[in-house]
């Protein structure tokens, strides 16, 4: 497995784990945003720019959710509240 493939596997696995744990802590939302950014970097490095663009958008959406949750730590906004 190449280093680039290993990096991509790490980024996508981190996204999956953090997404599953988002409701437990705002820090998992931030970790999800970071792993989406890593996935975006992977997409661009691999030459799959549509994947890179979509992951960059997901990173921005997750970072926004984290900022909202950081201002009100007792209530983490649901995905539906921040998407619409």
pLDDT tens, residue by residue, 13-56:
999 999 999 989 899 999 999 999 999 999 999 999 999 999 99
pTM over 0.95: no
Q: Which domain holds residue 77?
A: 3-83
User: Do residues 52 and 40 lie in contact, with contact meaning Cβ atoms separated by under 8 Å?
Assistant: yes
pLDDT tens, residue by residue, 57-71:
999 999 999 998 878
Work out the widest C-alpha separation in the chain, in whole angstroms: 43
Helix 26-46 to helix 3-21 angle (10° resolution) is: 150
Phi, psi (5° rounding) for residue 73? -65, -20
What total of structural domains would you count in the chain? 1
């Amino acid at each position: 497995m190449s280093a680039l493939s290993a990096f991509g596997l790490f980024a996508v696995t981190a996204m999956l784990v953090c997404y599953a744990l988002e409701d437990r802590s705002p820090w998992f939302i931030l970790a999800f945003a970071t792993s989406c950014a890593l996935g975006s970097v992977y997409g661009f490095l691999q030459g799959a720019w549509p994947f890179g663009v979509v992951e960059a958008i997901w990173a921005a959406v997750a970072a926004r959710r984290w900022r909202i949750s950081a201002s009100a730590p007792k209530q983490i906004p649901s995905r539906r509240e921040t998407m619409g």
